[in-house]
């Protein structure tokens, strides 16, 4: 024990332990509680001081599995509707295991031509899936937050260049504030990206015409006119997290074209609207954007961490992130691509493998079917809610989110926010289903989101049943 060199023969056995746990764990997901708080004390068993003498690989993995299979939030099961969290398709999950097995460093071509080539392949497949031109550049990222950072870093490069400044070499000093214009649908991660880029989290300007945050395009256009030709960035939001609504991307693309602004579109989950003819109109115009964000670990159902950034000008990522100036690193190369020159990371895992696996396994049709099933589940819940005397639908269902509140007859309006907040907390404590609350148009609302491949209509029915069981006791 103690030294991995003594355990060379145990690696496959340690992996076999994970494999043995997989069957029972995955089989249990449809039935078990999403979260069983009584398992929390088990987590203490994994704490304590750093061991001086190790327990060995098999013991360590056994401990991790024993606690992990109990104390996890079982969000990869079919009853997790909180936030926007996907599951992992069978192929994607196995692809992720293969990623760990092969342990490629996908930062440089030289450390893994395989990972680099497959990154190019999956970026091409994803562009095809979303109807984006093949000559767009792109890079895989750990998340949509990182994809927003990537796309907005490219925007910042372009914007500074329009001012005659190389922001990569010289920074922001001497430049004005970068104007970033958007709607009230903007996600917090866009603000975070601006914060990290030195552009300032609170410099973002929102143009809204109602309390949901819907865009006021005329006001946004007036702001562009006032800028009088100075370069600006417009952020379009394709899929807003409270109710699933979107900005009119085509209209924003028109404005960007007319005023020569950069259009960045955050389609973390909303970009998947493009893959079904039923919702493709919501994404119309996205192919005209300068940079686009989407997530793999949401609606593609690839394990955490998976995101993608696409940019129209395929040379701009290299200009923004390449040129590290380290003597031991290669230079930009169009054939043998080192993807760490196209994004913010250096060493990185072969994020392409699970994406490749799920797209190879289920193809365009399989992923379209999954998306459409979720559209159906959200609409099904929307119909139940709309027709029920004890519920109120708060927004039309357009994608995978159903935004509503519990409104039993006889409860006065001023008490409804507190009731729904208590309900949200009680649902999480119950654990059979998982759903979050939000403030939407000034009221406390539930916003179940359906993006996990395992979710079907009966799971949405269970949510209704749980609310009607718990609600009257509150
Ligand atoms: C989830 C989400 C993000 C952030 O995604 P992460 O993958 O959690 O970083 C950004 N924008 C939108 C619209 C989202 O739904």
pLDDT digit string (tens) for 114-160? 999 999 999 999 999 999 999 999 999 999 999 999 999 999 999 99
Distance 411 CA to ligand 1 centre (A): 35
Tokens 């005209």 found at: 288
Whether 330 has a pLDDT exceeding 80, the answer reads no
Domains of the chain: which residue ranges?
4-74, 95-359, 360-473
Percent of the chain at pLDDT > 90 equals 95
**Residue 46 pLDDT > 90, yes or no?**
yes
Give the three-class secondary structure for 142.
Answer: coil
So what's the pLDDT on residue 1?
62
Q: Which atom of ligand 1 is nearest to the CA of 147?
A: 9
Strand 137-141 relative to strand 307-311, pairing: antiparallel
Q: What are phi and psi of 201, to 5 degrees?
A: -60, -40
Going by pLDDT thresholds of 50, 70 and 90, the confidence category of residue 450 is: very high
> Tokens 């999480």, residue?
428
- Give one DSSP letter per residue of 207-240, joined into a string: -BSSTT--B-HHHHHHHHHHHTT---EEEEESS-
Question: Rounded CA gap, 137 and 315, in Å?
Answer: 7
The order of strands in the sheet holding 291-295 is 137-141, 307-311, 291-295, 262-266, 233-237, 180-182, 205-206
Out of 145, 235, 267, give the residue to mutate to test ligand 1, the one with the largest number of ligand atoms within 8 Å of its CB: 145
Which residue, 63, 80, 54, is CA-closest to 21?
A: 63
Residue 247 banded pLDDT, cuts 50, 70, 90: very high
- Looking at CATH, the fold of the domain delimited by 95-359 is given as 3.40.640
Q: How far is the CA of 268 from the centre of ligand 1 (A)?
A: 5
Give residue 281 CA to ligand 1 midpoint distance, Å: 21
Average pLDDT of 52-71?
97
Rounded Cα distance between 362 and 385, Å, is 32
Mean of pLDDT values over 325-354: 88
Q: What is the mean pLDDT of the chain?
A: 96
* Atom number of ligand 1 nearest to Cα 305: 7
Q: Which atom of ligand 1 is nearest to the CA of 307?
A: 7
What does the block give as tokens for 422? 């208590």
In whole angstroms, what is the distance from residue 313 CA to residue 290 CA?
7
User: Residue 98: its pLDDT value, please?
Assistant: 98
What tokens appear for 254 in the block?
A: 């028109």
Reported as a single tens digit per residue, the pLDDT across 79-95 is 999 999 999 999 999 99
Which residue matches tokens 């609310």? Answer: 467
| Closest C-alpha to 407, from 458, 443, 376, 374 | 443
Q: Which residue has the tokens 């023969």?
A: 9
Distance 270 CA to ligand 1 centre (A): 10
- The Cα 181–Cα 262 span in angstroms is 10
Contact 159, 151 (CB under 8 A): no
Query: CB within 6 Å of ligand 1 — which residues?
Result: 84, 143-145, 187, 189, 239, 241, 266, 268-269, 295, 307
Q: What is the pLDDT of residue 92?
A: 98
Provide the pairing of β-strand 262-266 with 233-237.
Answer: parallel
Region 225-249: mean pLDDT is 98
CB 228 within 8 A of CB 214: no
Residue at token pair 């290299």: 318
pTM of the model: 0.97
Q: What is the pLDDT of residue 191?
A: 98
Instruction: Identify the pLDDT of residue 329.
Output: 72
Which atom of ligand 1 is nearest the CA belonging to 145? Answer: 9
Instruction: Compute the distance from residue 292 Cα to the ligand 1 centre, in Å.
Output: 12
Stated as kind and residue range, the H or E segment containing 139 is: strand 137-141
Which residues lie below 8 Å from residue 291, measured CB to CB, with a gap of 6+? Answer: 150, 151, 152, 154, 155, 262, 263, 264, 265, 309, 310, 311, 312
pLDDT, residue 326, reads 73
- 261 vs 264: CA distance, rounded Å: 10
CA separation for the pair 341, 392 (Å, rounded): 49
Please state which CATH number belongs to domain 360-473.
3.90.1150.170
pLDDT band at 268 (very low <50, low <70, confident <90, very high): very high
On the question of pLDDT at 403 being above 90, the answer is: yes
């Amino acid at each position: 024990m103690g030294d991995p060199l003594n355990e060379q023969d145990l690696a496959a056995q340690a992996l076999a332990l994970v494999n043995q746990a997989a069957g029972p764990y995955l089989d249990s997901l449809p039935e078990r509680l999403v979260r069983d708080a009584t398992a929390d004390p088990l987590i203490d068993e994994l704490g304590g001081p750093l061991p001086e003498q190790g327990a060995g690989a098999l013991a360590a993995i056994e401990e991790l599995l024993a606690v992990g299979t109990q104390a996890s939030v079982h969000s990869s099961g079919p009853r997790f509707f909180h936030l926007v969290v996907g599951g992992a398709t069978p192929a994607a999950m196995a692809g992720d295991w293969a990623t760990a097995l092969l342990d490629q460093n996908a930062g440089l071509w030289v450390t893994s031509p395989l990972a680099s080539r497959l990154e190019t392949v999956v970026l091409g497949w994803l562009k095809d899936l979303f109807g984006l031109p093949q000559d767009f550049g792109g890079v895989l990222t750990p998340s949509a937050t990182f994809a927003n950072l990537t796309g907005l870093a490219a925007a910042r490069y372009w914007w500074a260049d329009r001012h005659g400044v190389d922001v990569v070499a010289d920074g922001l000093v001497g430049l004005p504030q970068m104007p970033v214009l958007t709607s009230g649908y903007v996600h917090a991660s866009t603000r975070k990206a601006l914060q990290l880029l030195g552009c300032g989290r609170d410099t973002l300007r929102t143009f809204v015409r109602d309390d949901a945050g819907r865009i006021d395009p005329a006001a946004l256009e007036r702001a562009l006119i006032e800028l009088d030709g100075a370069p600006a960035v417009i952020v379009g939001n394709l899929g807003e997290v409270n109710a699933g609504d979107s900005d009119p991307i085509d209209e924003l693309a028109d404005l960007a074209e007319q005023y020569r602004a950069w259009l960045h579109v955050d389609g973390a989950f909303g970009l998947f609207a493009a893959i079904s003819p039923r919702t493709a109109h919501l994404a119309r115009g996205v192919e005209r954007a300068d940079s686009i964000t989407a997530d793999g670990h949401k609606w593609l159902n690839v394990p955490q961490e998976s995101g993608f950034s696409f940019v129209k000008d395929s040379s701009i990522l290299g200009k923004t992130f390449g040129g590290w100036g380290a003597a031991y690193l290669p230079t930009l190369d169009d054939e043998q691509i080192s993807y760490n020159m196209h994004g913010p990371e250096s060493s990185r895992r072969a994020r392409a493998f699970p994406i490749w696996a799920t797209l190879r396994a289920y193809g365009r049709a399989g992923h379209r079917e999954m998306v459409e099933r979720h559209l159906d589940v959200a609409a099904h819940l929307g119909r139940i809610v709309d027709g029920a005397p004890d519920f109120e639908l708060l927004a039309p269902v357009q994608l995978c989110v159903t935004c509503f509140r519990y409104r039993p007859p006889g409860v006065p309006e001023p008490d409804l926010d507190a009731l729904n907040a208590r309900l949200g907390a009680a649902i999480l404590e119950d654990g059979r289903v998982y759903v979050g609350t939000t403030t939407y148009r000034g009221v406390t609302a539930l916003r179940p989101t359906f993006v996990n491949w395992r979710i079907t209509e009966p799971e949405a029915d269970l949510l209704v049943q749980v609310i009607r069981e718990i609600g009257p006791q509150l």
